[in-house]
Amino acid sequence: MPTFVISLGGSLVVPEAGKVDVVFLKKFRALILKYVKRGNRFAIIVGGGKLARVWQDAARMLGIRDRDDLDWIGIRATQANMELVRVMFGKTAVSHVMMDPHEKVGKFKLLFGAGYRPGVSSDFDAVVRAKTVEAKTVVNLSNVQYVYDKDPRKYKNAKPRPHLSWKEYLSMVGRRYTPGMNAPFDPIAAKTAYGAKIRVVFMDGRDLKNVERFLQGKKFDGTIIE
């Protein structure tokens, strides 16, 4: 049975400052456990999302400019989100927490991770984890359905891109990473995935029926970058 690496956007866990989407988390848990019982394995790397950006914005207002300091604030947000996601699975499935994505892992059903070190995002951690568990696909779940040619929140004429090469994607977002950047997939992670020949599938995680179609190998709505 296949192994899936999921980069779970923090925006799905905490869509607004001070608000956890409990309804989504319950449905996400049910979906993952359904496929764990079928023999699938999941490595779930949780991002910081809104929680990370709120704290990083506050730090900047307080005069903090050091990139590592800002990154550590974001990392702690990813870890708080991850702990919530991890504990909600309880003892139903064997679970592991391995913060260093480079660390090798043996048998597992559910593996959890989050931000690990400054200079990269949880997207990068998901790509590295895919390499260590020999998965060829990272599923990136966020609050948008596709990768667009420009920010759909700013431009009404933004067009969805169902399929992109890594070269096309990097030409769109650039190659430089900054703490808290709001790109679909951070450039460092993108370059790593490109070099490792790992594809990334982008989907709106709130549409869990669509996510399940992907898990079943059926046609789904989203963007594939490879």
Q: Is residue 126 over pLDDT 60?
A: yes
What digits encode the pLDDT tens for the residues 51-71?
A: 888 999 999 999 999 989 998
Name the residue range of residue 178's domain: 3-225
Q: Considering the entire predicted model, what is its pTM?
A: 0.90
How far is the C-alpha of 224 from the C-alpha of 82, rounded, in Å?
25
Q: What is the CATH classification number for the domain harbouring 213? A: 3.40.1160.10
How far is the C-alpha of 95 from the C-alpha of 82, rounded, in Å?
12
Strand-pair partners of 225: 164, 200
pLDDT band of residue 94 (cuts 50, 70, 90) is: low
- Report residue 118 as tokens: 């400054």
Identify whether the C-beta of residue 147 lies closer than 8 Å to the C-beta of residue 19: no
pLDDT band of residue 93 (cuts 50, 70, 90) is: low
- Number of domains present in the structure of the chain: 1
pLDDT number for residue 83: 93
Query: Which of 168, 178, 144, 140 is CA-nearest to residue 158?
Result: 144
How far is the C-alpha of 94 from the C-alpha of 107, rounded, in Å?
10
Classify residue 60 as exposed, middle or buried by CB count within 10 Å of its CB (0-12, 13-18, 19+). Answer: middle
- For residue 197, give every residue at least 6 positions away whose Cβ sits within 8 Å of its Cβ, in sequence order, or none: 136, 226
Identify whether the C-beta of residue 150 lies closer than 8 Å to the C-beta of residue 73: no
Give the Cβ contact number of residue 143 at 10 Å: 14
Q: Where are the alpha helices (H) located in the chain, listed in sequence order?
A: 10-13, 22-36, 49-61, 67-87, 122-132, 166-173, 187-196, 208-215
pLDDT number for residue 106: 82
What is the rounded end-to-end Cα distance, in angstroms, of the chain?
22
How far is the C-alpha of 183 from the C-alpha of 177, rounded, in Å?
9
What digits encode the pLDDT tens for the residues 22-55?
A: 999 999 999 999 999 999 999 999 998 888 889 9
Rounded average pLDDT over 201-225: 96
